[in-house]
Structure formats: structure tokens, C-alpha cells
Amino acid sequence: MKTVNARVIRRSTTFRSTFADSLNCIMSQQGLKKEEMSEPREPLDAQVADDLIRAASAISNALVSVFEGINQIRDRVIEVRRDVVERRKLFTPQHLAGLRPLILEQLKRRPFLDGLGILAASDLFADRTRYLEWWRQDINDVIPLWLNFDPTSVDIYDYLEMEWFTRAQRDNAKTVFGPYVDYTGADHYVLTMTVPVVDEVFIGVVGADLRMSLFEAEILPVLYDLDWEVVLVNSERRVVSTNSQRWTVGSRLATIPEVSEGGFVAIAEIGTDSDWVLAAVKLVE
């Protein structure tokens, strides 16, 4: 798991060893090497540095938990396809349908997920260019997601062109996209996380939609536990969450937070390929 990077302002030379020890402890717990961490800027003080790193690590762990469930489904897809190929059989949508119990199990473990499943590559099946095995959950039920894949339709749901699909395919890496309002799919304010499924050929992506109203409820206690006004921002400068009335969730900042700019005194990077940063301004009064 990728750990957080801390960038803070120094006020005293005596804090260097304490701050380094804090970072080394987290790096050791996460299994990272020193070169994977950016060199921290000068810390404001021990408390803000430690608190911000701890909060960022908790948010990172929440994202990692989702990726762990996604990875289990990805591994199972590869395992099933290899078995089919070894038996010289044709891999069909019915084989993906056999993953439903695993998908439902992972959904149940993560109540803040809106949906979870696999979306096939355009050339995976001979008789169709689009196919998904995707299930959605709410408080009362879990249901399959049905979408319009008719290429002649004006309202086709063309996931093959969506950034969370194309980035995973192009970069062969996991992605964190959003939050955004998924008008054509989940119809909720969601965060989409995807992992490519590759076994010599590109098979598709396994993904999850996090309903932000529920996910934010998971991370807000972490932010409110801080004695600092903080804002969680994605790579598009959009506010993901905050413990302050200074910012509005969903709005965009003028720039990505940087230490000593815009009043920010400390920043921690969330990691896990999210490109999110957690930035602190001052003590909450």
C-alpha cells in the first residue's frame, strides 16, 4: 500500500528528528522505502504534522480497502478465463455471470459502495462489443445494473469511451476518478475506482462506484477529530470533503493547495493513485 507524503513548514530545527521518526514509522508500517517518500518541507510543529499524516493515512486505508475487493474480483476473472482457455472452450458472458456471488460478497462488506462489477473489453466476446456484470446496492436490496448498449441509440452508455475505463486500459494501472455526478449510470454523486484486468490480453476493467454521501460519512469523523481546518482536494481542484465552512464540497479551488500559498501551512498526499491532497489552514476556533 502506498503511504502518504507530508509537506510542511519548519519552525524549529529541533523537530527534524521527531518528524523523521514519525515518517519512518508510517513507512515501516506501510512497507515503503525511503526513496518513495518526497522530502518533507519544514514542519509547522509536531502536532499538525502527525495529525495530518494520521488523517491522510486513514483516508488512504479506506481507498485501499476498496481496491482490495476489486483486486479479488480481478484475480478471479483471470483464473476463470485461464481455466476456460486451457480447456479449449469459448469464454462467454456466462463465465462472468458466475462471479456474482463474489461481487455481492464484496458489496456487502463495504456498505458505502454504490456498485461493483466488471466491464468487458470491446473484443472480449465475439457476439457483442460491450458487456458488464455490475451490481448496485442500497439500504434494502442489491440489483443488477441494466444499461443501453445499442450503438445506434442516441443515449448509449458507452463505457469504452469513459475516462475511468480508458485510463485503466491505456496506463495498465488502477485509477481513481471523480467525484462526479454519474447521470448516465449510477445517477448519484460517485467516485469511480477501476483496475485493469490483463492476462496476456486486455480483458476489461473491474470497478467500483463509491457513493460520496456514504463515503464522506466514513471519513468525516477523521477530519472532525483534527484541531485544524482541513480540506480534501482531488487532482481537478475539486473539494472532496472538509471539516470547515470555509469550503463547499463539490466546489473547485483556484489552485491545488501548496504549502505557504493561500494560507495553507501543511499538506499530506493521500496516495493510492488518487492524486488527492489533504491541506490544513489553521486551528479551528
Residue with cell 488518487: 274
Domains identified in the chain, total number: 2
Regarding whether 244 and 158 lie in a shared domain, the answer is no
Q: Taking residues 159-166, what's their average pLDDT?
A: 95
Between residues 7 and 96, the one the model is more confident about: 96
Which parts of the chain fold into alpha helices (H)? 16-30, 46-86, 93-97, 100-109, 163-171, 212-224
172, 262: one domain: no
Model confidence over 204-239: pLDDT tens digits? 999 999 999 999 999 999 999 998 899 999 999 999
Give the pLDDT of residue 259. Answer: 85
- Alpha-carbon gap, residue 158 to 151, rounded angstroms: 8
Average pLDDT in the chain:
84
Q: What is the dihedral of CA 233, 174, 178, 267, to 10 degrees?
A: 0
Which pLDDT tens digit goes with each residue over 126-137?
999 999 999 999
Host domain of residue 139 = 88-213
The CATH number linked to 228 is 3.30.450
Does residue 42 belong to any structural domain of this protein?
A: yes
Q: In this structure, are 242 and 265 located in the same domain?
A: yes
User: What strands lie across the sheet with 228-233, from one edge to the other?
Assistant: 5-8, 266-269, 277-283, 228-233, 239-242
Residue whose C-alpha cell reads 462467454 in the numeric block:
92
- Bridge-based pairing of strands 5-8 and 132-137 is unpaired
3-class state of residue 133 by DSSP: strand
- CA proximity to 226, closest of 62, 60, 51, 43: 51
Shared domain for 92 and 10, answered yes or no, is no
C-alpha cell of residue 32: 515503503
pLDDT band of 83, cuts 50, 70, 90: very high
Answer for the pair 174, 275: CB distance below 8 angstroms, yes or no.
no
List, for residues 30-73, the tens digit of each pLDDT value. Answer: 444 434 444 444 444 567 778 899 999 999 999 999 999 999 99
